[in-house]
Chains A and B, each alone.
Chain A
Amino acid sequence: MKAARTSFLLAFAVALLIAGTACRPAAGKFPAEPTAAVSRPPRLHPDYTDTVIPPNVAPLNFLIEEPGQTYAVRIRGEHGTPIELTSREVAIHIPIQPWHELLATNAGGPLYFDVLARTGAGDWQRFAPVTNQVACEPFERTLVYRLLKPLYSFYSEIGIYQRDLESFRQTPVLENRDFGDGCLNCHTTLNRDPNTFVFHIRGQKGPQPMILVRSNEVARINKTGGYITWHPSGELLTFSANKLSLFYHTVGETRDVFDAESNLAVYWLRSNVVVMPKPISLPDRQETWPSWAPDGKYLYFCAAPKLKQERFRQVRYDLMRVSFDLARNVWGEPETVVSAEETGLSAAQPRVSPDGRWLLYTLAKYGNFPIYQPNSDLYLMDLRTRQSRRLEINSDQADSWHCWSGNSRWVVFSSKRGNGVFSRPHFTYVDEAGTFHKPFVLPQEDPTFYDACIQTFNLPEFVAGPIRVSPARLAGAVVRPQKVITPVDQTGQKPGEEPSSAMRRE
């Protein structure tokens, strides 16, 4: 009996071994002497060539798009132990620990991929090495984004997810199935802090709330707000109240959005008051896309004159900014930073780098929804010289939803490059001179992941670490909230007046 059991266990172990071997076929040792050299580098998919990568990025697993029966890859830098891999498959999976060690020892230097392919005749071909640079500066460990299908009018499955950028682990922050199939959007953290963030829920009965997380406390705020931005002090949230309507074209890009009415509002968290300061809520202007400068002294936003929907192609937004004195609660006069009249284009999504040097924004032919416009491109303004330029990293498809890393060296953005329908998060290194280097797509464990992914990555945001609040708690704040805050709408605030005193006066 015992012998039978031992035999069974042995057979089971052998079966497991065989199964494991079948999943990742090894192809012998790394070849010593290739017989032929190919003068060009190999075609890799995704395109991880001639780019700059952070020293803490997850392994750049890739496919070798070259004919061959067996492949060998050596990943090496100028220091450290090279990683040598052989495979009978075109997919190359790089072990995570040696990868991180290699990157750490080669930060600031080049990283080479030596790719060899064995042909049917048994000869090894060596391609010219693929070179990438490892930057000294890492990006944040976590990326938070929304995953959804390329939606039109209705949604069924939407979720906000977080991805550990040093590995391949993706976990849900909150999915709409957790709280009865509403819509989730506009997640934003305070200075990339995973413990302080806010997002907006739609499709609920009653007021469409914001969910606020601060110091592990989750609250439901009964106030509708889009494109939310934190003041760096954490004292207030600025958001836009939009009246968006979706419409469709019979030629060109199908979807389009018209904003019939929008204004900016400020929610003072401590005093629980919502105000609409006049400089950012002018009656004859449509203000949207608020974004605080990292020092909190300026609010950047976009504004356009009010036009009827029939003239949607003429709606072009200026990029504006307005000064703000937090201590005195005094707003300055709005000033135009990028004039639509001068560019002939419409601005959206301004984002100032954390070091205050650069302003990154999008320009499209018209309107304020760049993700639906293939012509939308990223532009950079040097805030010291006020000179703008179109970035060389733009594609022929929509490039938008950008976010700076805390060290101002990395930008993540959504790009529909390569397919025109599904946006994917791309990273680009920004050097001190403001040069944007060739972007690379968020690496996935399966290098073919994007080839069959019919979801779109929306609003990627760097976060310093993983969000710890569980989906259950966040869902609880929607369906069974323990803490509900209903802000006081205070529109009669006088310039310079504390919002709390304005509330008292009411």
Chain B
Amino acid sequence: MARKRARVKGPPRSEAAKVVAPPELKPAFSSAPRPAAGAGEWQGADWLVLAVVLALGGLHLWLRVQPVLRYQVGVPAFFVDGPFFAKFAGVSGGLLQYAAAAVAQLNFYNALGAAALTVAWAGILLCARLIFQQVSTRGATAGALVLMALLAAMPGRYQGDVEAAVLGILVGVAAACAWLALPPRFDALRIFALGLAAVGLLYVVGTFPTLLFTITVAVVELAGRRRPGFALGCALPALVVPVWAWLRPNFDPLVATRHWGGGLTWALFAAAYAFVPAWLGLQAGYNAVRTRLAHGHGEAPVPRTPWLGWALEFVVACALVGATLDTSQRAIARLDRLSARHEWDQALAAAKQVRAWTAGARLNLTRALYNAGRLPEDLFSFPQTRGSDLLPGYDAGLEMSRALSRTLFELGEVNLAEHMAHEALEMEGARPDTLRLLARINVLKERPGAARVFLNRLRLAPFHRAEAEQALQALAADPRGANDGELSLIRTRLPTTDLATGRLPTEMLLQQLLAANRTNGMAYAYLLAHRLLNAELEPLVQDLAPLASFGYTALPRPCEEAVLLHQYQSGQDKAEWHGFAIRPAVVENYRRFADASQRYRDNPEAGRTALASGFGDTFWYYLVFGRSARPTVFARGTP
């Protein structure tokens, strides 16, 4: 009985702990011993370092990652109404998803989004450091620094539900902190409370925060307080996850991982969740080694402020954050945002930074080129690959649905724009820009009632209320959108014949639009681009016939190059086409290209590299090598 009481009142001290207790070992928040001599002076330094790192992280998020770009590529739908909340309330982890979606809306403003995430990071660091101190003050700040690096790296991937993960980790570590702060008495009651908390957390925040909470507590009890049996008891509530999954077949414990992105991003999310227990384990291991060493030398090493270690760690952390920042994805997000805002020149500038092109980015690029008056002139100034369609179908993935719907809408294919906008609505959720587009589509289709529904939904999205109300008023005053310049223009482009198909046959659609309206300049520019991308020389030169009627005063350079090639191939030797002159510089350039490519006839790979600098943005290069290359030297003549 006496033994039992002793166990309840406090953790048993092991013999090793009695002989050489490391000065930084702390059994609990409430009964934590004062830091040993020498430790107190670097408490302030710890906080300073953490505050600086946090501030740098926030600045990185605000200025480099830019929350508005994350908003553009992946904002989850969020609405201020009961039915929307009800979708989340009934499922495990639903409330966390709801809260994360709400926080993600703050990304609408750069500073607000950065501040929100920085505050959450601060909470995590605070809790994590307190937890690390339970095992050892040594390494507590270092651990927090590494964790900060992981957290700061996550949003720079521009994929995955960062807010949900950050809030989940925050809840997990905060719950662990709160539980560890309980007085270390009444073990049975504490285990019971832990179980209850685990069940509650599973409902509110889902699997991973629950596991983080229980495992963290168990590891602290094992490594910090040296109570293996109690630690096992603390770990047991983690079984609530598999038990619930077994009891409820409709509960997928791994559902959150679907929102962790892929590859490196997934690994970052997983590492961030696993970090606190893992670091506790490392601290415990390090302590064990130190204790053994102290036995050998008869004295414990005196702790000192590890400025050098922190500096090294800081450099590594910066390297991690910098290396994982996906600048290509950031450029794609910027291109998408600027295209949505009709800032075409800036969009094209952003496109220059894209390295890994997606179908959606290509669609935005082509639209930006057209609207900047550079299609097809500068088509090959950007990476183009043979086989990629101007209006891609489902083979290109559903992620491009939103970009494709915007292109189709502007072209005049309003039905197909509606189709793709609905695919986007389904796959990406009710994003504000999709709702806005669907409202406009329905105005064009003379369904003001449906347009009103989409605008009313938009009205419930944070930061979009005023815009939606303005649009609703405009709709009430002008249900057909007759006074709306863009809608009036698109109305003139609508097809007049039906093309019933299950696919998106680019050429047929463009021809159909041109048949309906011979002045549809966008359809014409796209048709020329389509011909060039598919290297359809004969149809291209035919389609160039009405060029002047579309306001062109000169042959666009890629067309000029294609015409020249076509003339050489067909044995003609004219320096003009339908009244458009082919410039001598282009002729000269072609001769040089032909000579150079002849030299690399037996080694096309070497030719591709060698010719890229001088001819990478020419139609001839694209034709021969199946792709364009950004030229480093513009050897061609100026137009």
Question: Which residues of A are interface residues toward B (Cβ below 8 A)?
Answer: 149-157, 172, 177-180, 245-252, 254-256, 312, 418-422, 446, 448-454, 471-473, 475-476, 478-480
Contact = CB atoms under 8 A, between A and B. Distances in A.
A153 B421 CA distance: 12
A248 B416 contact: yes
A418 B502 contact: no
Given A177-B250, A178-B250, A179-B249, 13 more contacts: A151-B426, A248-B416, A251-B497, A252-B415, A255-B419, A419-B453, A420-B442, A421-B450, A446-B82, A452-B459, A452-B460, A453-B83, A472-B249
A480 B251 CA distance: 12
Given A152-B419, A250-B415, A454 B427 contact: no
6 contacts: A180-B252, A251-B496, A448-B456, A449-B83, A453-B457, A479-B249
B633 interface: no
Nearest to A312: B500
A256 B500 contact: yes
B502 A247 contact: yes
Given A421-B453, A449-B83, A452-B453, A250 B495 contact: yes
B453 A453 contact: yes
A265 to B, nearest CB: 26
B91 interface: yes
Contact of B502 (A154, A248, A476): A248
Given A246-B502, A452-B81, A418 B449 contact: yes
B413 interface: yes
Contacts of B450: 419-422
Nearest to B255: A177
A253 B499 CA distance: 12
Given A251-B497, A449-B83, A151 B422 contact: yes
A452 B498 CA distance: 31
Contacts of A473: 249
B426 A156 contact: yes
A472 B244 CA distance: 11
Contacts of B499: 249-250
Contacts of A150: 422
A154 B453 contact: no
B12 interface: no
Contacts of B425: 149, 454
A249 B502 contact: no
A251 B498 contact: yes
B231 interface: no
B419 A451 contact: no
Interface string B406-419: 00000001011011
Contacts of B495: 250-251
A344 to B, nearest CB: 20
A451 B502 contact: no
A149 B459 CA distance: 18
A392 B445 CA distance: 26
A280 to B, nearest CB: 29
Interface residues of B, number: 48
Interface string B560-595: 000000000000000000000000000000000000
A251 B252 CA distance: 43
B463 interface: no
Contacts of B418: 254
A483 to B, nearest CB: 13
Nearest to A256: B500
Nearest to A253: B415
Interface string B430-442: 1000010000001
B500 A247 contact: yes
B197 interface: no
B213 interface: no
B535 interface: no
B494 to A, nearest CB: 8
B227 to A, nearest CB: 36
B423 A152 contact: yes
A451 B423 contact: no
A419 B248 contact: no
B70 interface: no
A89 B634 CA distance: 68
Given A152-B423, A449-B83, A454-B425, A419 B449 contact: yes
B620 interface: no
Contacts of B427: 154, 156
B512 interface: yes
A117 B248 CA distance: 52
B183 interface: no
A249 B453 contact: no
Given A154-B427, A250-B509, A454-B453, A421 B447 contact: yes
Nearest to B458: A452
Contacts of A251: 415, 494-498
A335 to B, nearest CB: 33
B208 interface: no
B397 to A, nearest CB: 11
B335 to A, nearest CB: 25
B415 A254 contact: yes
Contacts of A172: 90
A420 B443 CA distance: 12
Contact of A155 (B426, B454, B498): B426
Contacts of B426: 149, 151-152, 154-157
Given A420-B449, A422-B453, A451-B453, A154 B249 contact: no
A156 B424 CA distance: 10
B398 interface: yes
Interface string B391-403: 0001000100000
Interface string B489-533: 000001111111110000001001000000000000000000000
